[in-house]
């Protein structure tokens, strides 16, 4: 009789374990899976593209604000400048990548002000080369950002819709 009475208890154990696992997964999805609330701005809203004999130069500032939860990292390869060409974002300039540089950490509730200065060249000996599509138009900055909501958890890459600035205008100097 004692053995028969213990059989239902053994049958209940897998159901209890399964219930606890489901609860743990649901809690993990609610806290660890949500990316931080990030705001990226480009200053000024109109950027002047200066042309010279060797190519073009520009300068602006980007503000990256992390409202949380967790921290974000700005990877050492700086932003890409993307132009809206026929409704699609096309990269027309990328900042030089400095892989030996550390990522810049932005904690929840903090922000970073990042100067963005760039050049692109028509002279073959200089890099990066000027993309002929890099002319006046509607642009955005696209950053390489990762996030962690748990200090011991995995690092995840933010999708482009969360790691880009709103539209701004690039005009050519007269």
pLDDT per residue as tens digits for the range 98-140: 778 888 999 999 999 999 999 999 999 999 999 999 999 999 9
Q: Would you list the DSSP string of 65-130? A: EE-SSSEEEE-SB--EEEEEETTEEEEEEEPPB-TTSPPEEE-TTEEEEEEEEEEEESSTTSSSBP
Judge: domain 34-172, CATH 1.20.58. Answer: no
Q: What pTM was computed for the model?
A: 0.78
Q: Which pLDDT band holds residue 96 (cuts at 50, 70, 90)? A: confident
């Amino acid at each position: 009789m004692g053995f028969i009475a213990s059989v239902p208890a053994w049958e209940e154990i897998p159901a209890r374990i399964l219930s606890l696992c489901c609860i743990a997964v649901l809690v993990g999805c609610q806290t660890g899976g949500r990316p931080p609330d990030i705001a990226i701005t480009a200053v000024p809203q109109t950027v002047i593209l200066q042309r010279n004999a060797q190519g073009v130069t520009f300068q602006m500032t980007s503000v990256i604000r992390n409202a949380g939860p967790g921290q974000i990292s700005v990877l050492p390869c700086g932003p890409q400048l993307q132009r809206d060409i026929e409704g699609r974002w096309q990269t027309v300039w990328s900042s030089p990548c400095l892989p030996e540089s550390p990522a810049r950490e932005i904690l929840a509730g903090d922000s970073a002000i990042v100067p963005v200065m760039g050049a692109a060249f028509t002279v073959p000996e200089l890099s990066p080369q000027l993309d002929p599509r890099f002319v006046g138009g509607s642009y955005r900055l696209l950053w390489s950002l990762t996030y962690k909501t748990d200090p011991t958890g995995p690092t995840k890459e933010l999708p482009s819709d969360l790691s880009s600035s709103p539209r701004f205008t690039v005009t050519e100097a007269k």
